[in-house]
């Protein structure tokens, strides 16, 4: 049985896709700075509290909404086995070029981060990274996003997510809150919330999957 608003849901998904594609056609998207965020660097390399202190041992990583591959390449350079997904084919093509130029192996997939079962992205993964992907996903697809990550999470896996707060954009659905993440990510613990430094409300969320 179809949902009452199924047509509107599809329209919303297509509108998001078209908007993202237009950013890449027009040039460099504002979120694709070409610089790895210090928050990811701190997680991977440690927080400077002492030599080797807090370094995250390399494992398998999945990046959701990888853009042109800056952070996927960074992770691969630091010993991670990386799978990266983006909805925009042009972005994936640029990411492949970037990975080739860097001489690192990254498995890049063109597809929907809320439909991972349709992609070649089996788990388990030790790390998930999301730089403003989830916060732009239409609400009716967010449970599928959370379920896809949960099925692929190794015990104790981490999710580092950057997101805009509600009201940052003109549409009615963009944005994410801590309460929403707690509700949608059953079996995960929200272990850290750090405000971003942007002119509008932004946050870095760190979630950890259960050990069982």
How far is the CA of 115 from the CAs of 2, 28, 64, 86, 192, in angstroms?
18, 26, 11, 11, 27
What pLDDT, on a 0 to 100 scale, did the predictor assign at position 53? 54
* Ranges in the chain, pLDDT < 50: 1-3, 49-52
The pairing of beta strand 81-86 with beta strand 60-64? parallel
Distance CA 46, CA 53 (A): 6
Residues 6+ apart with CB under 8 A from 172: none
pLDDT tens sequence across 168-206: 777 677 889 999 999 999 999 999 999 998 888 999 999
The DSSP letter of residue 53 is: T
Which pLDDT value is given to residue 6?
Answer: 63
C-alpha–C-alpha distance, residues 10 and 33, integer Å: 30
pLDDT of residue 5: 64
State phi, psi for 19 to the nearest 5 degrees.
-65, -45
Given this model, what pLDDT does residue 52 score? 45
The pLDDT of residue 10 is 65
pLDDT at 133: 94
Residue 83: count of CB within 10 angstroms of its CB = 24
Q: What is the pLDDT of residue 174?
A: 81
Given this model, what pLDDT does residue 173 score? 77
* pLDDT given at position 26: 80
Tell whether the torsion through CA atoms of 166, 190, 141 and 91 is positive or negative. Answer: positive
What is the reported pLDDT for 118? 96
> Kind and range of the H or E element at 16?
helix 6-26
């Amino acid at each position: 049985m179809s949902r009452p608003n199924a047509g509107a849901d599809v329209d919303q998904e297509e509108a998001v896709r078209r908007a993202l594609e237009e950013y890449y056609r027009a040039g460099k998207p504002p979120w694709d700075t070409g610089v790895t965020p210090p928050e990811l660097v701190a997680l991977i390399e440690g927080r400077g509290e002492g030599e080797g202190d807090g370094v995250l041992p390399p494992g398998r990583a999945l990046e959701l909404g990888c853009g042109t591959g800056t952070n996927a390449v960074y992770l691969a350079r630091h010993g991670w086995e990386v799978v990266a997904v983006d909805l925009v084919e042009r972005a994936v093509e640029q990411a492949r070029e970037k990975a080739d130029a860097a001489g690192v192996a990254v498995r890049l997939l063109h597809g929907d981060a809320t439909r991972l079962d349709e992609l070649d992205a089996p788990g388990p993964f030790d790390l998930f990274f999301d730089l403003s992907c989830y916060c732009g996903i239409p609400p009716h697809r967010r449970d599928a996003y959370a379920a896809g990550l949960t099925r692929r999470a190794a015990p104790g896996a981490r999710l580092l997510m950057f997101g805009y707060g509600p009201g940052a954009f003109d549409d009615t659905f963009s944005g994410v809150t801590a309460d929403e993440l707690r509700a949608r990510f059953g079996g995960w613990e929200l272990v850290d919330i750090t405000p971003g430094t942007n002119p509008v409300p932004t946050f870095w969320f760190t979630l950890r999957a259960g050990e069982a």
